[in-house]
């Protein structure tokens, strides 16, 4: 299990609307201003576990998470975008999302084409699925943190003075060779 974990709990907000439409990778967005300590978090792609109790009670699902500026699109606003690696019947805007990041995949990159970005996202999802497979995560997935439906219910946050994932582990590309 991961030595370092970063917990988020927030209400899902509308993003740029590109995840599903352009990338085939729907995302649930959280307001980065709700997490001032996020400034200590390395920009990049992470993996972890997520739940949306209002949409799927009891389910704790693998997730790939983008924290940063999405250089392919030239964003100037930092975003926190969560791709839950499962299907949902409908959108769950305004629902509480519980998220625990357990690992870092890679830094953000600007790609030469949309197809190259989609290929990188697909590789991120495969890497996360591999890392999150198995029973080693059973204790974390059973954590009561994932069942909260209110932002203030059991809220935990990082220490704003300590770096978060400041020294990321090897990237997916480095570990696949």
Q: Give 10-residue mean pLDDT values along the chain (177 residues).
A: 76 75 81 80 92 93 93 80 91 90 92 92 96 92 88 53 44 43
Q: How far apart are CA 140 and CA 4, in angstroms?
A: 12
Q: How far apart are CA 157 and CA 148, in angstroms?
A: 15
Q: Residue 84 is inside which H or E element, if any? A: strand 79-84
User: Residues 151, 96: contact at Cβ < 8 Å?
Assistant: yes
81 given a catalytic annotation? yes
Specify the pTM.
Answer: 0.83
Domain coordinates of the chain in residue numbers?
6-175
Which residue out of 3, 81, 151, 162 is catalytically annotated? 81
**Residue carrying structure tokens 């980065």:** 32
What's the confidence (pLDDT) of residue 176? 43
Give the domain 6-175 fold: Elongation Factor Tu (Ef-tu); domain 3 (2.40.30)
């Amino acid at each position: 299990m991961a030595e370092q974990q970063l917990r988020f709990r927030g209400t899902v907000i509308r993003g740029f609307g590109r995840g599903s439409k352009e990338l085939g990778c729907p995302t649930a967005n959280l307001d980065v201003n709700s997490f001032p300590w996020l400034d200590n978090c390395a920009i990049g792609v992470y993996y972890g576990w997520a739940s949306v109790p209002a949409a799927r009670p009891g389910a704790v699902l693998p997730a790939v998470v983008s924290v940063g500026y999405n250089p392919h699109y030239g964003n100037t606003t930092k975003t926190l975008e969560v791709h839950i690696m499962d299907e949902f019947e409908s959108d769950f805007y305004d629902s509480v999302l519980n998220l625990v990041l357990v690992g870092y995949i890679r830094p953000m990159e600007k790609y030469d084409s949309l197809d190259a970005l989609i290929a990188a996202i697909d590789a991120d999802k495969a890497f996360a699925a591999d890392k999150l497979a198995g029973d080693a995560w059973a204790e974390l997935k059973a954590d009561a943190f994932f069942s909260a439906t209110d932002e203030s219910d059991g809220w935990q946050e990082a220490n704003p003075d300590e770096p978060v994932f400041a020294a990321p582990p090897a990237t997916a590309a480095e570990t696949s060779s």
